[in-house]
């Protein structure tokens, strides 16, 4: 098997390219390579965990202080798996700390370079744990919300909270006399990414539904949904949780519909404006 089939494509985000060029011009290339190595090890943790669970990874995008492993599996896999894969990245920093301490004890590296290693490793770890999408902290917040809320609502709340948190950070940075321009630009860029994610939230929701339609729900957990007869299918789907399979009870006559039938009618038969009552009557004929 060719190597390119074993490993996903590796992409460098413009923010990282900018940092690399800036480091060359300012003579800090060694420090930049140290940051790049930490980020790469971080993403390797995500990737190895994803491979362990059999996830399909499309590519890994490396940022200045982190990265994004792009996969469509997260909308159809158990929350437990996604939580472990998300935590696998931050866990790599613990390993890096252990390696740095070992190297420090052996005296193999310059103390100033070791100090930078500790500083960058701590900074990147704390940065990635911020409750900001799509950082690991934001993903953990999404996973936590998905435990209690429907997918659509959990995703929306995550992005709103992320935008608010970034806005607060930017206000604090801009009102500080000692703010660093590169840090402001980084958070401004992430704010822009969250804005795009918010605009695409319906597409994300539809991708979630389509994945459920295409993938058989093998979970034994059943969460009954009680809906009114005049509710449209898309509004019924808005109540879907990730970790459950749903039986849909129509409140007026208490007829039961299963989610697979409703998804089939919506995606296969393209009855996008149908109400749950119309679907129920159609299946009873």
Query: Over the stretch 177-223, which tens digit does the pLDDT of each residue have?
Result: 776 777 888 888 899 999 999 999 999 999 999 988 887 766 668 88
pTM of the model: 0.85
* HEC readout, 54-99: CCCCCEEEECCCCEEEECCHHHCCCHHHHHHHHHHHHHHHHHHHHH
- The residues facing 247 across adjacent strands are 258
Answer yes or no: are the C-beta atoms of 189 and 15 closer than 8 Å.
Answer: yes
Classified as helix, coil or strand, 179 is coil
Give me the chain's average pLDDT, please.
85
Phi, psi at residue 73, to the nearest 5°?
Answer: -75, -25
Q: Just list the catalytic residues.
A: 43
The string of pLDDT tens digits covering residues 80-94 is 999 999 999 999 999
pLDDT tens sequence across 219-241: 668 888 998 888 999 999 999 99
In sequence order, what E strands does the chain have?
Answer: 10-12, 59-62, 67-70, 225-227, 247-250, 256-258
What's the pLDDT band for 17 if we cut at 50, 70, 90?
confident
Assess whether pLDDT exceeds 50 at residue 68.
Answer: yes
Packed helices 111-128 and 79-106: angle between N→C axes, nearest 10 degrees: 170
The DSSP element (H or E) to which 203 belongs, if any, is helix 201-214
pLDDT given for residue 284 in this prediction? 61
Per domain, the residue ranges of the chain are 3-129, 150-214, 216-284
């Amino acid at each position: 098997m060719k190597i390119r089939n074993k490993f996903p494509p590796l992409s460098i985000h413009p923010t990282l390219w900018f940092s690399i060029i800036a480091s060359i011009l300012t003579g800090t290339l060694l420090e930049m390579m140290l940051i790049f190595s930490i980020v790469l090890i971080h993403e390797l943790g995500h990737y190895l965990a994803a491979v362990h669970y059999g996830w399909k990874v499309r590519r890994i995008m490396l940022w200045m202080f982190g990265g994004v492993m792009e996969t469509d599996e997260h909308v159809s896999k158990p929350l437990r798996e996604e939580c472990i894969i998300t935590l696998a990245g931050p866990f790599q920093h613990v390993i890096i700390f252990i390696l740095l301490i070992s190297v420090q004890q052996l005296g193999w590296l310059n103390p100033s370079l070791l100090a930078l290693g500790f500083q960058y490793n701590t900074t990147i770890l704390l940065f990635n744990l911020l409750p900001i999408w799509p950082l690991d902290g934001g993903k953990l917040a999404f996973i936590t919300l998905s435990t209690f809320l429907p997918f659509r609502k959990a995703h929306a709340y995550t992005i709103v909270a992320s935008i608010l948190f970034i806005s607060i950070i930017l206000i604090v940075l801009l009102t500080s006399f000692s703010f660093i321009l590169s840090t402001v630009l980084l958070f401004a860029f992430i704010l822009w990414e969250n804005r795009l994610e918010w605009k695409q939230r319906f597409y994300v929701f539809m991708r979630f539904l389509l994945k459920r339609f295409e993938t058989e729900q093998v979970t034994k957990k059943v969460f009954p949904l009680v809906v009114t007869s005049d509710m449209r299918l898309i509004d019924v789907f808005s109540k879907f949780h990730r970790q459950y399979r749903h039986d849909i009870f129509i409140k007026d006559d208490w007829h039961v519909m299963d989610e697979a039938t409703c998804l089939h009618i919506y995606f296969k038969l393209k009855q996008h404006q149908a109400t749950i009552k119309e679907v129920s009557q159609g299946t009873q004929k």
